Amino acid sequence: MCGIVGYIGNQQAQPILLDGLSRLEYRGYDSAGIAVMDGSAIHLMKAKGRLQNLVDRLEGSPLQGTIGIGHTRWATHGEPSDLNAHPHTDMRGSIALVHNGIIENHEQLRAELVAQGCQFVSQTDTEVIVHLLNRLYSGDMLSALRQAAAVLEGSYALCVLNIDEPDVLYCTRKDSPLVVGLSRDAQYVASDIPALLHHTREVELLEDKEIAVLRRDSAVIYDPYGRQRALKPIHVDWDVEAAEKGGYPHFMVKEIHEEPASLSKTFTAHVDTNTMTLRQDAFPFTEEEAKSLATLTIVACGTAYHAGVIGKYVIEKLARLPVTVDVASEFRYRDPIMGPGDLFLAISQSGETADTLAAMREASRLGAKVMALTNVVGSSIARLAGDNVLYTYAGPEIAVASTKAYITQIEMMVLLAVDLALKRGTIAAEEAKALLTAMTDIPDKAEALLTDCEDDIQRFSSRYFDKKHVFYIGRGLDYALAMEASLKLKEVSYIMSEAYAAGELKHGTIALIEPGTLVCALVTQAALADKTLSNVREVKSRGAKALVICTESLAERCGKEADELWTVPDAPDALLPLLAIIPVQLLAYSMAVSRGCDVDKPRNLAKSVTVE
C-alpha cells in the first residue's frame, strides 16, 4: 500500500528518489520521507501529507549523497504524522530503513526491545525492525537481516541503509512486493515497476526472504539459505508514457480512453485472428481436465471481484460449469469446501492483494487446481499460480480506481468461458468463432462510444453532481455491471451508492426512493429488458429520476421510461458489459471532477492493498 524507492549510483539520490516517489504516490499518500547517505552520516527528511510537502521542506536544504531510500506511507499503525513517516532509524541514527507491509508480532517485539533499553519515537510497527537490526548487527548486515527474518512475523518489503557501509544498499521482502532495477552504473529499488521505468527496463524480481545487496556497479542476490543465486532479470516493455498522463487531466480518464487498445492487446494475445480460434496454449487445461471439472470458484477483491461476477454469468451460460464467486477476505476464513477436481481462479490487477494471495494459498492447500488472472507479470499472485497464470494486457494502471484493467478482466472472462465451453463440448466451434469474430469489433465500438458519450455525460454530471445517493439497477449481466458502476462512483466521487438486482428493489430498498432520487438502470440484455423497465416504472412512480443505459436496438422501448437515455452499440449479450461499462466509468469520473474530488487518489484508498 505504501511506496518504496531506493537508489545507489553516481548521481545525487534526492531528485531520483523524489521522482520515484511521485510515480508511486498512488499507492499510499498520507506522509512521505527520504534518507540519503553521504559517507559520514544518514540525513533524513519527512513530512506529513502529500509528497509536495516533503518537496517543499527539501527545497531550501537538499540532502546530499548518491545513495538513498524513500517512502510514501498509507498509515496502518499510528496516525499520519512526521514522526510516524518513514524512514525510521535506530537510536544512533546509523541504520535507516523504509518498510511496506505489517509486522504482526510488533507488540511483543517492541516490549522486548524496550526492556533491552530501546527508545521508540513512533507508533509504527516498522520501528521495531530498525531497533531489532541494531541489536542483531555486529558488523554483518546480511547476517542481521537473515536473523531478523527468523523473528519477524507478517509481511515486509525493506530497503536498508547502514552507515558502516556507505556504498551498499540492502533490500529484502516477504509477502510484499519489491523489485530491483538493474543498470551498469546504478541500481534502483521500488515497490512497483512504474517507479523504475525512467531509469531501466531490466528488472529483477525478489522472491520471499531473498536479500539483495546493491552496489553502484553490481547487484547480488542471496536466497533464503544464504546462497548467492544467478540474476534472472525480466525485460519490461511497458511504454513509459503509459505511466504518465499524456495531456489528460487525470490518469483515470486517460486509462478509460486506453480501453480500446487494452482490449485489442489482450484479445490478440489469446486469439489467433487469422483462424479466429483461441491460441492452443492460451488456457492451461486439456479437454479431459475441462470435462472433469466439478466446480469453479472465482475469488478476488473490489473491482476484480466484480469481474468475477461477470465471469459467473458468462461461464455458467456457455460452459455449463457451476461457478461460485467470493470476496477473498471472506473465502479465506470460511472453511471453504474444495478439493481435487475443483478449479480456483484468483483475479487481481496488481497481483499483490494480500487477501487474494491468502485465498490462493488456502485453495492450494485444499488440493484445487489454482489459476490466476493478473495484469502484472512477475507479481506475487502470478508467481504463486506458476504455469497456470493468465494475463490481461492493460498496461500499467496508475489511477487508484481500476478501469482499463477491469474491462480486460471481463474480456478474459468471456475468453475463458469460450475455452471451457469448447473443451467441455457445450458450444459448437462455429458458435465460438462467431462470438470471437464479434469481439474483434468491440475495440472500435468502444472507441466510437468514447467519442460520442463524453459531452452528454459531462452535461448530466453538472446537473446531478450534488446528489447524496445514487442507485444502480440491472438484471443478469447488467446487475453484475451495476455493482462495478456503483463502486466506481463511490470510490471517486464519495457519493453513497447501492447496486441492486432490479427485481430485488421492491423487497425493501424501494423504501429509500423519494422524489429526485437518481436511479441508473442498465438495460442491455434484450431478454430481460421488459422486466427491468417495469422496475424503472416502479421507481419513477415514486418520484425517482431514471437514467437508462441501453443498447441502440432497445432505445425506443427504453426511451419511453427514461428521464435521460444513453445508448451503447449493439453486440452479442455476453459482450455488452465491455461497452456498457464505459459510460458508467465516465459518469463516476465526471461526477467526481464536478465535485472537486481528487480523482486519481481518492481519500483513504491505495492502489495495491497488501495488508489484510
Active site residues: 2, 607
The 67-106 contact track toward ligand M6R, x by CB under 6 A, reads ----------------------------------------
Residue 111 and residue 147 in contact, taking contact as beta carbons nearer than 8 Å: no
Q: Which of 349, 461, 567, 610 binds ligand M6R (CB under 6 A)?
A: 349
Q: Does 401 bind ligand M6R (CB under 6 A)?
A: yes
Q: Which of 85, 609, 610, 611 binds ligand M6R (CB under 6 A)?
A: 609
Distance of closest approach, residue 260 Cβ to ligand M6R, in angstroms: 20
Cβ-based neighbour number of residue 237 at 10 Å: 8
Name which of 610, 603, 612, 602 is nearest 99 in CA terms. Answer: 610
Distance of closest approach, residue 104 Cβ to ligand M6R, in angstroms: 21
Q: Does 400 bind ligand M6R (CB under 6 A)?
A: yes
d(CA 42, CA 267): 50
Nearer to ligand M6R, 187 or 353 (CB): 353
d(CA 51, CA 190): 16
Distance of closest approach, residue 109 Cβ to ligand M6R, in angstroms: 29
Distance of closest approach, residue 608 Cβ to ligand M6R, in angstroms: 6
Segment interacting with ligand M6R (CB under 6 A) among 167-175, 179-187, 346-354, 461-469 = 346-354
Distance of closest approach, residue 350 Cβ to ligand M6R, in angstroms: 3
d(CA 173, CA 211): 7
| Cis peptide leading into residue 224 (ω within 30°) | no
d(CA 128, CA 109): 7
Segment interacting with ligand M6R (CB under 6 A) among 75-83, 149-157, 261-269, 297-305 = 297-305
The contacts of residue 352 (CB under 8 Å, 6+ apart) are 176, 177, 376, 379, 380, 381, 608, 610
Number of residues this chain uses to bind ligand M6R (CB under 6 A): 16
d(CA 237, CA 111): 47
Backbone angles phi and psi of 359, in degrees to 5? -65, -40
Q: Does 493 bind ligand M6R (CB under 6 A)?
A: no
Segment interacting with ligand M6R (CB under 6 A) among 289-297, 343-351, 443-451, 455-463 = 343-351
Q: Does 304 bind ligand M6R (CB under 6 A)?
A: yes
Q: Does 353 bind ligand M6R (CB under 6 A)?
A: yes
Cell 498509515, residue located: 75
Output the CA torsion 205→180→127→3 (10° steps).
-90
Binding to ligand M6R (CB under 6 A): which residues in 6-45? none
Q: Does 350 bind ligand M6R (CB under 6 A)?
A: yes
Alpha carbon distances (Å) from 160 to 5, 13, 149, 167, 273:
11, 15, 14, 12, 49
Residue nearest to ligand M6R (CB): 302
Q: Does 303 bind ligand M6R (CB under 6 A)?
A: yes
Angle at CA of residue 204, ends 203 and 208, nearest 5°: 140
Distance of closest approach, residue 401 Cβ to ligand M6R, in angstroms: 4
Backbone angles phi and psi of 215, in degrees to 5? -120, 170
Q: Does 301 bind ligand M6R (CB under 6 A)?
A: yes
Distance of closest approach, residue 119 Cβ to ligand M6R, in angstroms: 37
The 141-180 contact track toward ligand M6R, x by CB under 6 A, reads ----------------------------------------
Cβ-based neighbour number of residue 335 at 10 Å: 9
Segment interacting with ligand M6R (CB under 6 A) among 1-9, 61-69, 342-350, 592-600 = 342-350
Segment interacting with ligand M6R (CB under 6 A) among 179-187, 308-316, 397-405, 496-504 = 397-405
Q: Does 382 bind ligand M6R (CB under 6 A)?
A: no
Determine which helix (DSSP H) or strand (DSSP E) holds 162, and give its type and residue range.
strand 156-162
Q: Which of 72, 402, 461, 535 binds ligand M6R (CB under 6 A)?
A: 402
Q: How many CA atoms lie within 13 A of 507 on its CB side?
A: 5
Q: Does 214 bind ligand M6R (CB under 6 A)?
A: no
Residue 176 and residue 156 in contact, taking contact as beta carbons nearer than 8 Å: yes
Q: Which of 81, 187, 262, 356 binds ligand M6R (CB under 6 A)?
A: 356
Determine the 3-state secondary structure of 278 from DSSP: strand
Name which of 345, 309, 398, 324 is nearest 24 in CA terms. Answer: 398
Nearer to ligand M6R, 177 or 302 (CB): 302
Interface residues toward ligand M6R, by CB under 6 A: 301-304, 348-350, 353, 356, 400-402, 491, 605, 608-609
